[in-house]
Amino acid sequence: MIKHALFARFEAKPGKAADVAAFLEMGLALANQESTTPIWFALQLSENVFGVFDAFENEAGRQAHLQGPIAQALMAKAEELFTGPPSIEKIEVLGLKNLAR
């Protein structure tokens, strides 16, 4: 059962929104390789504001993700792409409806 999640929010530097979108699209391939990350969304919240929401069955999965290749790639590109460091919030999931087939 999904109980733990993360929400990361970041703002693209001027002229870098397309680069951030492309970076997040590439992140899907990395997320698909993480067996402990069953839910992963890359989001564009406004023209220059982006986010990632991901969820996990347990705290160990969340911690593995925070130390994994997506987080490392995000931090490696942060100075180049973002106006400041990403805001990363730990979230507890209270309910989930999954329509995936």
What domains can you pick out in the chain, each with its CATH number? 4-9+16-92 (3.30.70.100)
Tokens of 100: 């995936």
Instruction: Identify the pLDDT of residue 100.
Output: 65
Distance CA 34, CA 9 (A): 21
How many residues can be counted in the chain?
101
State the amino acid at position 41 in one-letter form. Answer: F
Q: What is the pTM of this model?
A: 0.90
Instruction: Identify the pLDDT of residue 85.
Output: 92
- 18 Ramachandran zone, left/alpha/beta (phi>0; psi -120 to 50): alpha
Query: pLDDT tens digits for the chain (101 residues)?
Result: 899 999 999 999 999 999 999 999 999 999 999 999 999 999 999 999 999 999 999 999 999 999 999 999 988 999 999 999 999 999 999 999 887 65
CA dist 34 → 16, 30, 37, 78 (Å): 27, 7, 5, 21
